[in-house]
Amino acid sequence: MEIQQTWRVGALAKASGLTVRTLHHWDQIGLLSPSRRTASGHREYGEPDVVRLYQVLVLRRLGLGLDSIAVCLDAGVDPVRLVGDHLAGIERSIAALDELRQRLVHIHQHLLAEREPDISMLIAVLRSMGGPGLAGTSEAVRQRLAPDQLAALRENAATLGPAAHYLLEIEWPELYRRAEALRVSGIEPGTPQVQKLVRRMDELSVLFSGGDTRLSGSVRTAWREELADTAQREEGDVAATAGAWRDLADYLDQARAAP
């Protein structure tokens, strides 16, 4: 039987460049906990924990908060997609640094020749230092939105970069699944656990709508109209599913209205 490598918290902190305090905090909030225990009772991180640590660090680098990361990892992320996004981010960083280097070399040559750099050169450097469509929106909903609204959604999603995929395609659906489980279980919409989910959904809505309440309201209305039409148009399981989603939308609105 192959013996897996394990790490104490101090050793993993040193290997990953994190602090022991950070790992302890992530353990306390349930984001990353040691899964192994020695014969003497000491807790240790195993190889699967190191894989999860990598996922946490990549998703954090992509701009996700710890709560979003926890939801995404619990729902499951595609490792090929994750490593690909990490690689793409590194390549973008290399390209941006190379562009910045070339601009600085140009300015340095001007200064060595005792020539004043043109202000446009400095503006270009500032731009380089600053660094930098909406796949999750169904076609049916797209058809219910105005072209300028779709353009705004795509633009806002683009500013999020690769994080948009994890927020929109993984975290958001998982929040809805959790809310539906609470609804089916008979949990009242005004309870803190439901309202916490709704608050996070609304935070994501702000991210993708750019804080435009009319835009986020239009998207929500489009979803409701599509669900209502689907329930009337289809039969059997499809209609039942649309009806359940409509009931969930009502449940979430009740949570929003709760004191």
Q: What's the token pair of residue 1?
A: 């039987």
Give the list of residues 6+ apart from residue 16 with CB closer than 8 angstroms, or none: 53, 57
Q: How many CB atoms lie within 10 A of CB 181?
A: 10
**What's the confidence (pLDDT) of residue 88?**
87
What is the rounded distance in angstroms from the CA atom of residue 85 to the CA atom of residue 163? 9
Low-confidence ranges of the chain (pLDDT < 70): 1-3, 124-144, 224, 226-243
| Residue 132, pLDDT score | 38
Question: CA 259 to CA 241: how far, in whole Å?
Answer: 29
**pLDDT for 133:** 40
Tell me the DSSP string of the chain: -PPPP-B-HHHHHHHHT--HHHHHHHHHTTSS---EE-TTS-EEB-HHHHHHHHHHHHHHHTT--HHHHHHHHHH---HHHHHHHHHHHHHHHHHHHHHHHHHHHHHHHHHHTT-PPPHHHHHHHHHHHH----TTS-HHHHTTS-HHHHHHHHHHHHHHTTHHHIIIIIIHHHHHHHHHHHHHTT--TTSHHHHHHHHHHHHHHHHHHTT-HHHHHHHHHHHHHHHHHHHHH--HHHHHHHHHHHHHHHHHHHHHH--
For residues 81 and 165, what is the distance between their CA atoms, to the nearest angstrom? Answer: 10
| pTM tops 0.75, yes or no | no
At residue 241, the pLDDT reads 61
**Going by C-beta distance under 8 Å and a sequence separation of 6 or more, which residues neighbour residue 224?**
246, 249
Rounded percentage of the chain residues whose pLDDT exceeds 90: 27
The reported pLDDT for the residue numbered 34 is 94
